[in-house]
């Protein structure tokens, strides 16, 4: 009987080579390092060849591994082409999308649900993080699409939104203004602090959290003021302009990886359409 090489194992093998380590590859193919090691052992057992030489954590392809890498790439390319052609554009994934917390609800409930209806066999991996982390993952080919915030003059910006202050008006009378902020790195945190320092307004960090929902709860409870776009509290009116220093606007960016396929570009375009619908709120 011929040996059948599973495509998911071949993808893991290629991911290890492309990313340069088991740790990075595990993040890329969304399995644990131990599961990834078992996959490679299984592949070596099936081929009855060692594919890597191991020196501590360093992995180097053997001659058999170098030969197998070329075949693995060709097999995966042909497999994906066949799925795309025979499935009339259906996509079996996986596809990896990352977004900042502000857009998670709209995108998870709208874009990804619609994409899943278009591609019912697809696997979608969603990651919520800060823009800097998302762009780093995109550059390392650990995400296919990244959606986040950028400066006011980004060339590929799709939306432009003012930055406003949110919080209880009575906090403005405090001698030292209490702030509620997300952990670093955060564009809004730095903009708020820079603006307050430039205006010589005393401030202190009253609440610091990695989670946007916790930040929202802190602001609604009157623990501090914060700087965000109107998406932060869409049912609340921002603090009156001029009471606290103004801040520069932000833009929204949607970027796809360099090796984006048809399905990735389709998901990017769906995301752009949903973001455009958020424009009135911004």
Residue of higher predicted confidence among 49 and 281: 49
| 62, pLDDT greater than 60 | yes
Quick one: pLDDT at residue 101? Answer: 85
Class in CATH terms, 95-156+251-277: alpha beta
Give the span between the Cα atoms of 160 and 163, in whole angstroms: 10
Sort strands 145-150 and 95-99 into parallel, antiparallel or unpaired. Answer: parallel
Q: Give the three-state DSSP class for 59.
A: strand
| 281, pLDDT greater than 50 | no
Give the span between the Cα atoms of 105 and 115, in whole angstroms: 15
Give the span between the Cα atoms of 219 and 213, in whole angstroms: 10
Say which range, 10-24, 64-78, 106-120, 137-151, has the weakest mean pLDDT. 106-120
Assign 3-class secondary structure to 158-197.
EEEECCEEECCHHHHHCCCEEEEEECCCCHHHHHHHHHHH
Give the span between the Cα atoms of 193 and 180, in whole angstroms: 11
218-247 pLDDT, tens per residue? 999 999 999 998 877 777 788 988 889 999
Q: What is the DSSP letter of 143?
A: -
Quick one: pLDDT at residue 50? Answer: 93
In order, the DSSP letters of 105-153 are HHIIIIIHHHHHHH-TT--EEEEE--HHHHHHHHHTTS-SEEEEEE-TT
Q: Token match 């099936």: residue?
A: 46
CATH architecture, domain 163-248: 3-Layer(aba) Sandwich (3.40)
Quick one: pLDDT at residue 282? Answer: 45
The answer to whether the CB of 262 falls within 8 A of the CB of 106 is no
Q: pTM of the full predicted structure?
A: 0.62
Quick one: pLDDT at residue 86? Answer: 58
Quick one: pLDDT at residue 36? Answer: 86
Residue of higher predicted confidence among 175 and 116: 175
Q: What is the DSSP letter of 54?
A: E
Give the span between the Cα atoms of 208 and 194, in whole angstroms: 17
Pick the CATH number of 7-86 from 3.10.20.600, 1.10.287.3510, 1.10.10.10, 1.10.357.10: 1.10.10.10
Cα angle 125-111-189, degrees, rounded to a multiple of 5 = 75
Q: Which residues pair with 124 in a beta bridge?
A: 95
Per-residue pLDDT band for 179 (boundaries 50, 70, 90) equals very high
Comma-separated ranges of CATH 3.40.190.10 domains in the chain: 95-156+251-277, 163-248
Quick one: pLDDT at residue 262? Answer: 72
- Which among 181, 194, 186 is positioned nearest to 244, based on CA atoms? 194
Residue 249 burial (CB count, 10 A): 17
């Amino acid at each position: 009987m011929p040996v059948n090489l599973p495509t998911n194992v071949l993808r893991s093998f290629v991911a290890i080579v492309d990313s340069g380590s088991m740790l990075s590859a595990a993040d890329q193919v969304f399995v644990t390092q131990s599961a990834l090691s078992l996959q490679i052992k299984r592949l070596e057992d099936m081929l009855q060849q060692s594919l890597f030489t191991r020196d501590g954590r360093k992995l180097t392809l053997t001659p058999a591994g170098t030969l197998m890498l070329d075949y693995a790439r060709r097999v995966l390319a042909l497999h994906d082409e066949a799925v795309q052609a025979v499935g009339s554009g259906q996509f079996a994934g996986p596809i990896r999308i990352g977004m900042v917390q502000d857009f998670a609800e709209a995108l998870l409930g709208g874009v990804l649900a619609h994409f899943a209806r278009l591609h019912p066999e697809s696997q979608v991996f969603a990651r919520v993080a800060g823009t800097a982390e998302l762009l780093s993952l995109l550059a390392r080919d650990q995400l296919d699409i990244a959606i986040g915030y950028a400066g006011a003059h980004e060339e590929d910006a799709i939306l432009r939104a003012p930055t406003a202050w949110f919080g209880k008006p009575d906090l403005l009378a405090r001698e030292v203004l209490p702030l509620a902020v997300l952990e670093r790195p955060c564009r809004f945190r730095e903009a708020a602090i820079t603006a307050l320092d430039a205006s010589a307004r005393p401030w202190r960090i009253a609440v610091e959290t990695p989670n946007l929902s916790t930040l929202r709860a802190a602001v609604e409870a009157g623990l501090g003021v914060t700087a965000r776009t109107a998406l932060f509290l869409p049912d609340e009116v921002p603090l009156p302009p001029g009471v606290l220093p103004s801040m520069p606007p932000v833009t929204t960016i949607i970027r796809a990886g360099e090796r984006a396929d048809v399905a990735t570009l389709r998901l990017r375009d769906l995301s752009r359409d949903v973001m455009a619908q958020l424009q009135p709120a911004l």
